[in-house]
Amino acid sequence: MPNLSFEGRRHLEDALDRKRGVLCVSAHLGSIELGAAGMARFGRVHSVAGIQLHGPWTLSVRSRLHAWGVDLYQGPWSYRRMERALRNGGLAALPLDGDQALARRPAPFLGTQLHLPLGPAWLAARTGAAVLPTACLLTESGWNLIFHPPIKPDESSESSAAAWHLAIARAVEGLILAAPDQWVLPSPLIDYSFTSLADSG
């Protein structure tokens, strides 16, 4: 695995010390593989495999990530397994621009309204885990894994999934705007125009 530098690691360490779980939220920025592997230095990482990782040709990728300490889940029970890991004080990571969602909700995002996955917000609301915006970016000196301070919904909002959804969308939007040249835009993102499949409250 390539060498990584770490920025803001104290935010992650402090959040893990709470023993209520840590959810790192991001986008397909820089290298999400290296980012997940870097997070695994602080504990086993739990995540969800997107559609593009369901084919047999990706077995080597999944095996490598598993060896690095990253467990990728698939299927309808994936988020329940991640919820269990967070409730046990574990570490999970999810991109907000992925294709792995079973439910979505609109949120302001990059100057428009997009139906974004509800999974990160659902996990944050149900588990009380700390939510850290995270990105692994390429710099002139190499790869840098950045942990930002934990975020919370607006003070005027309840800590519901709906409130978390807006807060997470705003935070991930900030990550993208800080390094737009490193965003690998998932092509299905522009087609997210259908109604949410679940009422997240």
User: Which of 42-46, 96-100, 115-119, 156-160 has the weakest average pLDDT?
Assistant: 156-160
What confidence tens digit (pLDDT) does each residue in 18-30 have? 999 999 999 999 9
Q: pLDDT at position 65, please?
A: 84
Q: pLDDT at position 156, please?
A: 58
Q: Higher model confidence: residue 157 or residue 40?
A: 40
Give the predicted TM-score (pTM) of the model: 0.87
Mean pLDDT of 136-145: 96
Q: Higher model confidence: residue 185 or residue 25?
A: 25
CA distance 134 to 80: 22
Q: Higher model confidence: residue 176 or residue 77?
A: 176
Label residue 121 exposed, middle or buried (CB < 10 Å: 0-12, 13-18, 19+).
buried
